[in-house]
């Protein structure tokens, strides 16, 4: 699948570039395992629009409505207007205890990879 526009990428790379044309995040759900979280705050440093530490120094996900959650939740409810997939994945990868879980549309766990 390519973007369906100019195909100018084809001769450059000898193939069409694969891109996400769904105009949305590949990651549809997110969860923080509070038992694994040690409050290192790497996630907050990488993506402060989405992650914060609560009063227990555990990571929480910031939601549009101003509330916070660690449980499994839809990325559509996150405080950020548009999710940056690379930044979201990087924040999960930065966690020293792999406490951040990312899931696809069908609920498949995409990170950490199984
Ligand atoms: S990077 Fe991991 S351990 Fe650190 S605050 Fe975020 S979820 Fe917790």
pLDDT of residue 73: 95
- The string of DSSP letters for the chain reads ---SS--THHHHHTSPPP---SSS-S--EEEE-TTT-----HHHHH-TTTEEE-TTS-EEEEBTTS-EE-SSEEGGGBSSSS--HHHHHHHHHH-TT--EEEE-TTS-EEES--
Q: Whose CA is nearest to atom 1 of ligand 1?
A: 95
User: Domains along the chain?
Assistant: 24-111 (3.30.70.20)
105 CA from centroid of ligand 1 (Å):
24
Chain mean pLDDT for the chain: 86
Tens of pLDDT, residue by residue over 63-91, are: 999 999 999 999 999 998 889 999 999 99
42 CA from centroid of ligand 1 (Å):
6
18 pLDDT higher than 80: no
2 pLDDT higher than 50: no
How confident is residue 8, by pLDDT bands cut at 50, 70 and 90? low
């Amino acid at each position: 699948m390519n973007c369906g526009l100019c195909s100018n990428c084809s001769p450059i790379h000898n193939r069409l570039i694969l891109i996400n044309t769904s105009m949305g995040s590949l990651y549809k759900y997110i969860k923080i395992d509070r038992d694994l979280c040690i409050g290192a705050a790497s996630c907050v440093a990488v993506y402060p629009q989405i992650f914060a530490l609560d009063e227990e120094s555990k990571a929480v996900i910031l939601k549009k409505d101003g509330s916070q959650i660690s449980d499994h939740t839809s990325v559509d409810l996150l405080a950020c207007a548009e999710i940056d997939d690379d930044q979201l994945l990087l924040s999960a990868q930065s966690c020293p205890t792999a406490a951040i879980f990312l899931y696809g549309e069908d609920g498949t766990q995409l990170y950490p990879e199984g």
